[in-house]
Structure 1
């Protein structure tokens, strides 16, 4: 993994020291041609499985497919055109959905999206440890995906994710996405813009 990440040459200017897996993670769109296996997917799912969730409801639901399979193509068809334009090189795709109500359906689970985020936090960190990039996407037809994969009304398909090993050729991407892929420095808001030891301060 170290050799692959060296080729990327991304700089993460952290304000405080953090774990290297977090500092080295980034959302590549150009993936190496090396295939992911079903075992790889199950390792990622297992990492997500142990994420915390409100009331331990584990409201996440995942639909996954490897490139060359019918499920992969069905997920691909649910993505918006922009994402379809670059994602075809990804060795694996999956959808992240949530169960939107509590155990007995008596009330809405307002924390379900948060819990899916915790699940994916585990997944992307595990992926990073394996040299696998994860690019998460909001750009999909949620209702189409819900219907396509037979989710009941009390579920919401929230995101899609492309997985593949780092080290792909940026020239496979459009010019604007090549520029994004080859940026050497990652950017984030300063802590002072989002964290307050006291009252919230409006932007």
Structure 2
């Protein structure tokens, strides 16, 4: 067993209750195998996103993606935070997520961001099924991304995503990032966010 395979095993969720295997196995790596992510792979991921639930079936999600070596990839890279740029260069595909802010009637779609999240949840599980890792990033200058890609008014860039097959070389990361890559996964206990009958969190 090589180092990357061991990391993958170590990242399997130490869940308190039984979980679907693909959810248990999912994690957000900062290294990726150099096996190409193909256009067909991306179409399968977008098909999963396409079939996500959304308010009134408005499907407000939008995506901009680019393969490494293309101009669009460099444009997305340049919108990322310095920290994310340090490792995201390992990803074969970079993507920006966005949502349409208004309903078909021109009113604010309060649920659009929620629906974008649902579509990305679908995509993430589909990717896991395919052996593809998806690393979601909040560290993106969305205003710069809107400008670079000439996103029209009424649409909002939300996050960036690094996409690639699990694998790669740990040595491609700095010592600090190697340590983070191998760190144990942690989650809050259910009682801290799931409340029966009444709201229980005080601050």
Normalising by structure 1, report the TM-score.
Answer: 0.93
Cα distance in 2 for partners of 1:136, 1:97 equals 13
Cα distance in 1 for partners of 2:73, 2:90 equals 12
1:18-68 deviations in Å (ceiling 9; x for gaps): 100000000000111111111111110011000000011100000010111
Normalising by structure 2, report the TM-score.
Answer: 0.93
In the alignment, structure 2 segments of 5+ residues that lack a partner are none
Distance verdict in 2 for CA 1:5–1:53, change over 3 Å: farther
Distance verdict in 2 for CA 1:77–1:30, change over 3 Å: same
Distance verdict in 2 for CA 1:157–1:51, change over 3 Å: same
Partner of 1:161: 161
Partner of 2:174: 174
Partner of 2:187: 188
1:99-135 deviations in Å (ceiling 9; x for gaps): 0111131x11010110000000000100001111100
Give the total of aligned pairs.
198
CA RMSD of aligned residues (A): 1.3
SS at match of 1:151: coil
- 1:30-179 equivalences in 2 (<5 Å): 30-105=31-106, 107-179=107-179
Residue 5 of structure 1 and its aligned partner are, at CA, apart by 5.4
Residue 180 of structure 1 and its aligned partner are, at CA, apart by 1.2
Segments of 4+ in structure 1 off by > 6 A? Answer: none
Cα distance in 2 for partners of 1:65, 1:5 equals 27
SS at match of 2:78: helix
Residue 11 of structure 1 and its aligned partner are, at CA, apart by 3.4
